[in-house]
Amino acid sequence: MADILIAEDDPGIRTAVALTLKCEGHSVRLAANGEEALARYAERRPDLLLLDVMMPRKSGWDVCEEIRAKDAALPVIMLTARGEESDKVLGLGLGADDYVTKPFGIRELVARVSAALRRAACAGGGGGGGGGAAAAATAPADPAAGEPFRIGSCTVDPARLALRRASGEEEPLSVREIGVLRLLAERPDAVVSRERFFREVWGTGYGGSTRTLDQHVAQVRRKLGDDAERVETVRGVGYRYRPPQAAR
């Protein structure tokens, strides 16, 4: 059983979703606007947040950004009638894990909730018990340690904090950028979740915005040059590295 916070200003949708999730065995708390959602979160950290975008007082985007500034691990699914790609990109960029456009099927929503809770549990966050996902901080392994490794046609030299392209050009790398590249290179064709990046590169105690990860990925893509497209975005989950032999 998970503790789920539903922030939705439409009383009909709020009630229907709450009843369905209760029937699935979850405990549910409700908020009718953005400020109330933040207050409920402050009272007790939920295991998952269902967050409407267009709410009074504070929008779902604002709520997501404020929560992500101190909680990188909380699963957040955004609910909105706005289906434009730019709105989805904004929500995901602010740290949402998934995005459901209204009108939605209630069973689809339940499936997405279950999937988000499973991902959080696999990432070491737990699921249920009101705040079990707040794992104790652990120190990540030193990303700058170890031997040079390849990603695409580039070579990353951790000891020198540098990336060398096939052309011979070099780009400086931060320790975190090396950690991001190593995690991708060691798992070709596999999706690396946001939670795993934060756990293994930042440490589970990281409490900043998930935009930090997106910014680091943007930087490593730029430094990869012609190999940038090999780092693919998997919406709502994380990133994947496509090695040369598997490139599409």
Supply the pLDDT for residue 143.
Answer: 56
DSSP per position, 88-100: HHHHHHTT-SEEE
Quick check: 7 pLDDT over 90? yes
pLDDT at position 91 over 90: no
Query: Predicted confidence band at 84 (pLDDT cuts at 50, 70, 90)?
Result: low
Closest CA to 247 of 148, 156, 153, 149: 153
What's the pLDDT score for residue 137? Answer: 38
pLDDT for 101 equals: 83
Element (H, E) at 156: strand 154-157
Instruction: Locate CATH 3.40.50.2300 in the chain.
Output: 3-122
Residue 113: count of CB within 10 angstroms of its CB: 24
Backbone φ and ψ of 16, nearest 5°: -65, -45
pLDDT (tens digit, 9 = 90+) per residue, 214-246? 888 999 999 999 999 999 999 888 999 999 874
- Which pLDDT band, with edges at 50, 70 and 90, does 210 fall under? low
What pLDDT was estimated at residue 116? 84
Q: Give the containing element (helix H, strand E) for 192.
A: strand 191-193
pLDDT at 159: 85
Residue 24 has pLDDT above 80, yes or no: yes
Of residues 29 and 120, more confidence is placed in 29
Distance (Å, whole) CA 243 – CA 188: 6
Reported as a single tens digit per residue, the pLDDT across 116-164 is: 888 777 655 444 444 443 333 344 455 556 789 999 999 999 888 899 9
43 CA to centre of own chain: 23
User: What's the whole-number average pLDDT of the chain?
Assistant: 82
Residue 82 has pLDDT above 70, yes or no: no
State how far Cα 139 lies from the chain centre. Answer: 19
Q: Model confidence at 51, in pLDDT bands (50, 70, 90)?
A: very high
Token couple for 135: 């794992």
Cα 244 to Cα 56, 156, 197, 224, distances in angstroms: 48, 16, 22, 13
Write out the residue limits of the CATH 1.10.10.10 domain(s) in the chain: 149-246
203 token code pair: 């440490």
Q: Does domain 3-122 have CATH number 3.30.565.10?
A: no
pLDDT of 93: 65
pLDDT at 19: 93
Among the listed residues 185, 175, 176, the one whose alpha carbon sits nearest the alpha carbon of residue 155: 185
Per-residue pLDDT at 72: 78
3-state secondary structure labels for all residues of 36-76 = HHHHHHHHCCCCEEEEECCCCCCCHHHHHHHHHCCCCCCCE
Give 89's pLDDT tier (boundaries 50, 70, 90).
low
Residue 96 or residue 83, greater confidence: 96
Asked if 127 and 134 count as a contact pair (C-beta separation under 8 A), the reply is no
Cα–Cα distances in Å, from 196 out to 100, 120, 247?
23, 10, 23
What percent of the chain clears pLDDT 90, i.e. is strictly above it?
A: 44
Cα–Cα distance measured from residue 236 to residue 234, given in angstroms and rounded to the nearest whole number: 6
CATH number of 149-246: 1.10.10.10
Amino acid at 220: V
